[in-house]
Structure 1
């Protein structure tokens, strides 16, 4: 888990919490209540929404033969968003507004769901060709 988060620039407290959660899941297959409370304290209602997305198995890791990886998250509205965990990015409007523009949130619920699905090892897996992955990324850009 530490390797998955190494490239992400998050506050140390968030990285530590995610790493502790990953260790707890590995040890006992569950996240302790105190970690869930910490998650709620740091992320507010986004934590609950992200956990709901994880419970609904809305996070898919899409990988290609060249080694490129993106996450696709089916949002609660039914729209699909692309998340790049390696550079801490989500294609949703909330990320653009609350995280980038206003800087009043660390993450959107979709990106948090990606990190939580990594921690809980519940991420769906999909292998596609390099061309298919490019098409997935280009569709998102054209719609934006």
Structure 2
């Protein structure tokens, strides 16, 4: 079962996708709504999309994750199906403080999907596993039992 954002956020992202498909841009009213719903993450996420920082990594087994090159130059792994990102801001603002719906990286994934700006890269299952394991080790999670 896929996790969902609050209905207003889901509807806003659908409207953005629809408007972009029809006009190749996001109207100002929807940009304002994006800022209202997602706060300061909105502008930063749009910047990441403009810089083509979002890549969908797909393996032959059909597994896929997103990597977003953060403004610091560090890649973060994002799981759109459960709204999770490996960045420190997600851990702090979304999980710990609960004052944001998502971080700028996850929002950039959703916006790149809506605007068709998401790059796609085929990787082997082994490469994908290495990426995921590297994230675990970097976060100090060790091995999964």
- After TM superposition, the runs of 4+ consecutive aligned structure 1 residues lying more than 6 A away are none
Cα separation, 2, equivalents of 1:36 and 1:60 = 23
From 80, 83, 103, the counterpart of 1:85: 80
Normalised TM-score (structure 2): 0.93
Segments of 5+ residues of structure 1 without an aligned counterpart are: 1-5
Q: Give the C-alpha shift of residue 112 in structure 1.
A: 0.4
Q: 1:48 aligns with which of 19, 33, 43?
A: 43
Query: How does the TM-score come out when normalised to structure 1?
Result: 0.94
Given candidates 68, 90, 95, the residue that maps to 1:95 is: 90
CA distance in 2: counterparts of 1:16 and 1:138, whole angstroms: 34
1:75 paired residue number? 70
In the aligned structure 1, how far is the partner of 2:19 from the partner of 2:80? 21
Q: 1:18 aligns with which of 13, 21, 44?
A: 13
1:138 aligned to 2:133?
yes
| Cα offset, 1:18, TM superposition | 0.3
For residues 15-55 of structure 1, give each alpha carbon's deviation from its aligned partner in whole angstroms, at most 9, with x where no partner exists.
00000111111111111110000001112221000000000
Q: Which residue of 1 aligns with 2:104?
A: 109
Cα RMSD after superposing both structures:
1.0
CA distance in 1, matches of 2:73, 2:118: 18
